[in-house]
Structure 1
Amino acid sequence: MSARTDSGRSVAATRRLGVGRTAVVSCDDGAGSGGDGDRGMVPFALIAVVLLLGSVVYANTLALGGPVVVDTAADDALDRAESVGRPAVRAAATAAAREAALHPVTTPANTTVGRALDPDRPFRDALRLRIALASAEALANARTDAGGVTATASLPAVDSPNDVRAAIERVSVAPLANGTAMRVTVRNVTLTATRGGEAVATRKVNYNVAMALPVLAMHDRTVAYETRLNRSPFEGPGLGRALTWRLWSVAQARGTAQYLGAPISNVLASRHVELSTNAASLRAQGTTYGRSDPAGRAAMIRATGRVGAQDLLVPAMDSGPSWTGRVLDAGETATARTDGSPSTEPADDRWGPSGGAAGADDISVGVNATADRAFIAFLDDDSADGFDAAVRGAYRSQATRRVSVIGATRAQRPPPSSPGPNWALLSERDDQRIVVVDRESRRDGSARSVADERRTVAVRHRVTRRWTRSGSIRTTTATWTDRYRVRVTLSVEYAPTTGPERPTAPTYVRGGPLDGPNLADVPAAARAELLPPGAADREARAAIRARTNEAGFGHATADRTIVHGDRPAGLDDWVYRDLIGLRERVRNVSVPVSRSAVAAGEANAARRLATAIRSRRATLVDAPETYDGAADRARVAARAGYVDAVLADLDARAGGSTARNEEYLDRIGEIRGDADDRIDDLARVAAAATAPEPAPAGRWHAGEVTLTPRGTPGYLPVTAVDSEHVGSLAPGESVHPLAARNTNLFAVPTGDAADAVTDAALPEKRTASLPEAGRALVAANRTAAATNTSSSPDGDHDSARATLQRRVTDELRAVDLRALAVLDRRTSLSREDRIAAVRAANRRWSAPGERTAAVVNGSYATAVARAATVRAGPGDGDEIDRDRLALRLRVETADTATNASVDVPEGIRAGTVDETRAARRAALRRAAKRAGSNATERLHKRYGKGKLGPVLAGLPVAPVPGYWYATVNVWDVEVAGAYPRFAVTAPVGGPDGGDGRVRYVRDGRNVTVDVDGDGSAERLGRSERVTFRTWTVVVVVVPAGPSGVGDVDGNADERSAGWPCPSVPNGSGTATATDVPGCPRSGGE
C-alpha cells in the first residue's frame, strides 16, 4: 500500500520490523527518477540494510521472551531406577550364588533346561541362570517415581524352557581373588519411564557388581580334589602316588618282619589300604583347600592307633560294625570340638606331570583267533552276508522286456447302412480278431541287447447290425481293419549286489581270470525266462488288446527279472585261496592298548582293532580300478564280505561290557599292566614323596578366606557305616563308602596265587581251564627239574604233579573226541583212519602239558589236518581241503580246551609253580635286582652255589638257573570310594551385617529350578557325589630264604565287603551302588 502527499512524495507503507519499531521507506519523485516507470523500485543496498536490521530486532525479541522450559522428569526417573537396580542385582546375585553352591549342578540333565547348560561348565551355567532369574525378579520390584514419571527395570522374560540359553548368555561371572570372590555382569537391562501409562523414555544398561562369595573357589577346588583322588600313580600328584609310598613302606616293613619270623600271615590287608587311603585323601584336602576335614583327622588318629594295635594283637581286635563305631564315633564327636585349623598332613605336590612317572607301556593286542572264527562264520552263513551270497552277487544281472506300440493305422468304422427304405436299426454287435500279420527281428550288436522284435498286428473288426420293418428282421455286416506296429525288446544290465562299486569289463563275453562264462550265458537265460519262442507274438497281441479303443503311440510295458550267470567250476576254490592270505593278514593286525586301561577294565581292545581294520579296509579289500570280469568282482566281494564279518565280530565284542569285565577278571592276580616295566617309577614315588605347605584359599577385602571341607563321614572305612553316622540313611540300613581290593601275585595255595585258574562258580574247589592247567603242569615239571627234589620227604609235590598230569590227560581225551567229530563231518575217512590221524598227531607231543599248549596255539589242529589229508589220498588232500579242515579243527578244539575244567591239586605251591606268569618274570627279576641293589650282590655271594628250593610264598628271583638272589612278591591294590555327602564351608558376611557361612554341598541329589514361573520346577541336572577310583602296585623284596614273603592265609584276593562299587544312600534312605568310575551309573535322589 502507498499514499501520495501534497508535496508529491510517495511514502511506502509502514512495515513492522519488531516490537515498537517501524521503518518507512520513501523515495524522491523529482527529475531523474525515471518517471512513472521507476516508481516503487528500491536499491539492493537498501534491501540489505533492512534485512540486517530486521534480524537484529527479531533476535532481541526472542531474548526478551524469557527461558525455554525443558521436562527432565523422565531422565531423573531413569537415573533413580538405575541406581536402585544395582543393589537389587547384587542382592539377587548373592542369593542365587548361595543357592547354586548349596545345590551345584555337576552333570546337566537330559531335559530342555539341562541341555541349555554347557556340558563342560554346568556349574557356572547353572549359576548364571540362577542369577538371571533372581535378577529379573528383583528388578521387577524396583520402581521409582520422579515428577509424575514412573521408572521400572526389567530383563527379557523367560516364558518357557526354550528361553533358558538366552537368559544364561545375559549374565557372566568372573572369579576375583583366586575365586574367593566374583564379579557378576548382568547385561541388557531395560529401564522404562512411563507417564500416565505411556512410555516416554527407555534406556539399556549393564550392571557390574562384585560379591565376596567364594562359590567359584569352592566348586573349582572340589573338582580339583576329586581329580587328585582319581589319579593313578603315573598321572601326577594325587591319591595313587600317596597310596604308593604309604603302602610300599607298610608292606616292606611287614614283609621284612615276616621274613625274619614274625607271625604275619597277611602282609598287606584291607585295613592298611583303608588307613592309607584316608590319610592320602586328607593330605589331598590340605593341599587343595588349605585345610582338611577336622572330623576326618580325629578319626584318622584313632584308626592309626587301632591298626597299629591290631597288627600286634590280631585276635583281640574288632572288625566290621565294631570297627566302624570305634573309629567314627570318636571322630564325629571331635567334629564339634575341633575348629577348622589348617591341616598339617604332608602333601605330594612335588610330583608334577613330568615327574618320574612319565612314559607309557602299551601291550599289543591282535585279531588272532577272531580271524578264524569270523572266517568260519562267513563260510557257513547262508544269508546275504555269507560267502556264497558274496560270490553269487557278483554274477547278478537284471533282464528287462519292454513292449511298446510304435505306430498305428486306423480305418473308419462303416456307418449304418439300411437294407432299404423304412428299415429301423434294432441292434449292433462288434467283433474283432487280433492277428500278427508281419514279423521282423533286428539286432544292434550290443551284448546287452538280447532281442529287438518288430510285429505288425492287425485288428479285424466286424459289426453286425439287425434291422426291423413290419415285424421282419434283416441282418447286415460291415468289416474294417486297423494295423499297429509293436516293438518287443529284451536287454540285460549288469547289477551286482556285492563288492565295492567299480566298473567291470568285460561282461557278457567269455573271459576273466578263470576264462569262464563271465555272464555270456545270461542273454540266453534271459531269453528263456522272458522271451521264449512265441512270446513276442503273444506280447504284441497283448499290448494291442490292452489298448482297447485308444489311439496313438507310446503305449509301453516293462517286465523285469533277475538272472544269475553260471560260475566257473573252480571259482569257489580260487576265491577261497585268495581269502587264506587275507585271513592271515587280518590275523596279524594288532593295536597297542594301554596296560593301565586293561588293568582297570576300561580298555576296549576289540573296538580299537575294529577301528584299525576299518582304517585299513580299502587296503585289505584291495579292489582294482576296474574288475577283470565277474570272477574278479566275486573275489573282491568275498574279501569285503570277510572283512565285514571280522568287523561284525569285533563290534559285537566291543559292545558287550561283560567282555571287558571278563578280560579284567582273567587277569586277576597279575601285576597291573601299565606298571609292568615301570616298577622303578613306583619305587621312586614311594621313596621321594615330600610334603609342601598347604596353600590358603585366597584373600578378599575382608582378609583371608577359609575353606573347610567336611565329608559325611569324614573318614571312609571299608566296613559298613550305619544311619548313626550318615543321617540320610534309614534306621537299620548301612552303606560301604570305601571299597578296596588287594591281590597278592605270588601267594599260597596255587588256587589263590594264580587267580586266573580259580573257578568263581565253585569257590570250594580250585579249578582251571585246560590251557591254564596245562601251563601249570609244564611249570611244575620245569620247577621240579630245577630243584631236583620234592617239597617234602614223602614226595607230596611229585604226587600232586602226577595227579595234575592224570587230570590234564583225561581232559585232553575230550579234545581228541572233538577232533574225531570234526573229521567225521568234514572228511570221508573211515573210523579207523580218523583214529589213526589223531594218534599220529598226538605222537608229536609226548607230554600232556606240551600237547595242551599245542591245542591252544593251533599246532595240534594243523597236525591232525595234515595226517587226515595224507590218509585221504591223492585228489582229496589239496591245499584248500587241508586249510578248511585245519581251520575248523583249530577253532573247535580250542573251544573244547577252554571249556574244560581241571581240579588243581592243593599240593602244588606258588613258590614252586607259577609259570602262568612267565612272560612277566623278566621285568620282575630286573625290578628285584634294582630294588635289592648291593644287598642282592651280597646274597649272590652267599647263596651262589645253592639251588632253588621250596618257598612258602613269593617268587624266587633267579637270573640264571642255580642262583637265587632274592624273593619278590607283588600286590595289586585298587580302591574306590564315595562320600555320601561332601560339603565345603566358608565364613562370609551375613546379609544383616553379621557373620554367616556359605556352603557348597555334593550329595547326589537332582537339582531343579522354576525357570518360567509356572510353579513347576524344571530339572537342571544333578549334584554328583565326590567319588574316586585309583590303584597302585606294591613290590616287596626280601633276601633269599625258605620263608619267602607274601600272604599265606589262603586269601590272596582280599576284597572288602563293598567291592567293587561303594554304596551310598539313595532317595529312600536305602543303599545303592554309586557311580564311581568303573561302576554302573546311579540315578539322582
Structure 2
Amino acid sequence: MVTVKDDTRGRVPFALLGVLLLVSSLTLAPTFVTEPAPSETAVERALDQATAETQVAVRDGVSTAGPQAAANPVVTPADTPTGRVLNNSTAFRDSLRIRAYLRVADRLERVSGRSGDVTVTAKLPAVTNASDLRAAKHRVSVERAGPNKTAMRATVENIVLTVRRNGEVVSTRRVSPTVVVPTQALMLHEQVSTYQTRLNNGLDKPGLSQRMTARLYPMAWARGYAQYGGAGIENVVANRHVSLATNGALLGVQRSTFGRSDPAGRRALTEATAMTGIEDVIRGSQGTALSTEVLKQAEYRPVSETPPRPKSTASPSPADSMTVGVNETADTAFRSVTEPSALNETLEDAYTVEVALEVDKRRLGGGPPETPPSPGTEWTLVADRTTTDTESVGTASGSVATPDGWHTLETFGRTVERQYTRTAVWQNGSVRQRTTTSSTARYRVAVAVVGRHHGRSPAPNRSIRTAHDASASPLTGSNLADVEPKAMDTLVGHTGGRDEVAERVVDGSLSRTAATVTADRPPELHDWVYQDLMDLRASVRNTTVTVERGRVGTFETNPPQELRARVAQRRDTLAAVPGTYDSAAQKARVAARLTYLNAVSAELDRQATARDSNRKRVDAQLSERTDGSLRALRKGLTARETPVPRSRPMPVGPAGPVRTRVDTQTPYLTLAELDESRYRALEGSEHPLVARNANVFTVPYGDAADAVVGGAFESGDRVRLATAASALAAANETLEDESNATLASERDALQQEVAAANRELTTTLWLAVSQHTAADQDESKAIVTEALSPWDTSAARALALTNGSAQERVARVAGARLNLTRVERDRLRLRLLSVDTPATRPTLGSTNGTASAVRSVAKDELSSALANAGEQKAQQLAKKRLGTDRLPAGLPLAPPVTTWYATANIWWVTVEGEYARFAVSASHGSPSEPGARTTYARDGHNVTLDVDDDGAAERLGTADRVSFRADTGVVVVVPPKPRGVGDKDGTAVEESSGWPDAGS
C-alpha cells in the first residue's frame, strides 16, 4: 500500500493566493446569515480574506486527496461501519470524496481572516461516527473536467465562515467553493476500470478475448497446416502458445485503453516469443526443458504488438476459401442407379408406352322392337323381356378422332348387326300366354388403337420422331416399332379379335380399353446407357462450391447442401433433355440421366441432414467437454484485433501534456509459479496466469469424434482400419530409429490385428472379382495378389485398402488380364470400392496402446538427446519426427464412408490471470511541478484511513487486484488425409500448474 503525505513544499501565502484567486474570478456560492454589526467594512474585509483562503484550502485539500485516493484505490468496500458508507458501485469515487472532505477540513483549521478586531474562521463539521462520515461524503462532489477530461472538478458544500469581534459571533456565511485541479485520479480510475472490463469482455465485445483469439488463429492455422504437411508437431495449440497470445493481447488492450503499454511487458513478450519459437523448433509440444547451450545460441527476434501472421502461403487463414466437390458422392449415387435391376427398370420404363382403344359407333338402321301384341282386350301384361344376339357381318370404313397427345397405331371397322327378340307374358285370370316380336339394328363400328409415350419414365414427355421406325434407332433393334403389334395383341387379341371388339362396342361389354406395353430393347442398350452415365458422372463429380474454411469448421455452412443447390442449377445442362427425342434409346438415356441426378440430389440431401445432425453433436461435445459452443466459435472466427497506433497525440490537460505510463507486476503473466523473490508485489508463491486448453477431437481414438459421427468413424471398442494402420505406421517409423521392447510388443499385437483385417478384406476383394467377372477363384486370387504387391507391409496395405487405391489397382489389373470392356471394368471398380465388413476393424485397445507407446518413446528419446544438445543437435531433432506425426487426429467432415472433404479440430481455451500490482501513472505537466505524477495502483491490499482523527485507521475497503477470465475457441480445417490435425501427445486437456486459481 502506498501512503501519500501532505505536501507543504513551495507554499504561497494565503493572502497573496486569495488576491490572485479573486482576480481570476473563481466561482463561489455564498449564502449569508448576518446580524447587524457596527462596522460592515471591517467584516467584509475579513470575510473576503477568509473566503479567498478557503478557496485555496479546498484546492489544496482536493489536490492532496486525489493522489492519495489513487495510490490506495478502494474497489470493494469493507464490511465495516466505515466501509458501508461507500456504495458498491461507486466505491472509489466515494472514497475520494471522503478523503477530499477530510483533507479540506484539515486545511480549513488554518484559515483565518482578520481586519482590525474582526476575525473570520472556516470550518466543516467534524466526523465522529459513520453517520457523520456519510453526511461528509454527500457534501463533496467530484467529476472529470478540463480539456480531454484529464483534470478533476470538485465542489465542497456549505463551508461555514464565522465572523467574530472581540470573540463574539457577529455574522456567518456559507460558501461552496468549486475548484478544478490537474490531478488524474478519476481519469486513471476510469481507465483502469475500462481496462478490467475489456479484459473480461466476452467474444462479442472488444477486449482480451477478441484480441487473444485474433492472435491464436494464425498460430493455430500455421501450426495445423505444418502438422498436416508432415512437420513434427505434436501439439498444434499448446498452453505456451496460449500464454504468448494472452500476453500479447493484454498489451494490445493496454494500448487501446491507456495509449501506452508496459515497456517491461513488451520486452518480456519479445523474450517469451523467442523462447516459444525455440521450443517449437526443437520439438512441437514436448514441453521438455531446453538446454542452457541452446538458449545461449538462440537468436531472439523482436516481436510487435500486432497479431502474428503466418508468412507461408501454404498456411491459409480461416477466411480463405476452400473448394468442396461432389467427388465420391457421384460414385455412391452411380452404384445405386446402375445396379442391374435398377437400371433395367429405368430402361424398361423408357420403352413403355400407354395404349388405348378409341371407338366410334353409329347406327345405320333398325332398332329394338315394339311391345309384342296383346292376345285380347282382357289380357294383362305381367312380364316383358328382350334378348339380343350381336354379330359382325362385314368390314366397314370409318374414322375415329385421336385425342390430343396421342397418335394412331392401327384402325379397323366392322358392320355389326344386333338381333332383338322381345317376349311379353300376358295373363287372363289363371291363364298365361306369351307373344313375341323380333327386329334387327345395324351399326357401323370404327376402332382405333392409339398410343402415347408417357409411361412411368422420369424422362419428360416429348415426341419421338422415329418412334416406330426400326431403322432409325442408333442401336440395333426395333426402336418402338413392335409397340403396335403388342398393343393390338393386348387390347384386341386378348379380347377375342377385331370382330369381337366391334361386337362388344355395340353391346357395351368392352371392359379393357387402356394398357401399357413395353417395346423390345436393343441388347446393347444397357452398356450404351451405362457409358453415357459414366460421362455424366465425371461431370457431376467435378461440380464444386467454394466455402470459407473457418465457416466449414464451425458448421456455419453446409457444403453438401450447397452442392445440392449447385447440381440443381446445372440440372438442365447435365440432363440435356432435347425438344424431341430422336429415338426411344435417346429417351432411355435421358431417363437414366434424370434418375442418376435424382440419386445424386438425394445422397447430397442425406449428407446435408447428417451434417446438421453432426453440428448438434459437436455442439453437445463442446458443452460437455468445455465451456464453449459453436456459437462462441463463430464469434471467435470473426474476432479481429483492432490495430492501435504506436503513437498518438498526447492529451493536454489544464496544466500541460498528460503523459501516461503503465507499470505492472508481473509485466509478463507467466504460467510458471513465481514468488516474492522475483517481484515484491507477490505474496508467497503465485501463478500470475493459469490456462486450460482442451483439444476436442484428439487421441485416444474413439472418443469425441465417435460421439459425433457414430459408427461411421469409430464404433464401440473397434476403430477404422485406416486409424489402426496410421498408428501401426507411426510405430514402425519410430522403431526404425529407437529400439523399445514395450513399443515392439504393442506394435506386434496391433500388426496381427491389422494383418488379419487385411486378409479379410483381400478375401472379399477376390470373391468380388470372381462373382462379377468370368475369372474363376484361382485367377481372381492371382489378380488381387498382383494388384496388392506394391504394398508389402501391413500398415501400407491397410492404408491402400482403406483409401481406395488398392481397389482401383485391382480393377486395372483385372481389366488388363481379363480384357474387360470399359463398362465391365468400371462396374467391377465400383463393386470393389463398396466392400466393407466389421471384421476389418481392429480393436481400440491395441490401437491406443500402440499410439501411447509411440509417444512415450519419442518423448524419452528427445529428453535424453536434449540433455547434451547444442544448436546443431537441436536442428537435427527438429527434423526427426519419430513417427508421432503419423498419428491421426481430428473430426472428418464428413465421415470417409461418404465424401471426406476436410478434417477439422477445435481447441477451447480458458485463461485466468491476475496482476500482483497494476499501476498507471499520469504526469501533471505543470511548469511549477515538472515531476508531479498521479499514480493509480491496485495491489489487493486493504485501504485504511483515520476518518475520526482518533489516531487509529479505519478500514475502507480493498484495492482489488486487476484480474480477468477469458475464453475463446479456435477451429482449424485441413484437407482430408489420414493424419488429420490435432494434438497428438495423448493429452486432450492441457491444464497449467495452478489451474484454476490465478494470483494469490
Which structure carries more relative contact order (alpha carbon 8 Å, separation 6+)? Answer: 2
Q: TM-score, normalised to structure 1's length?
A: 0.44
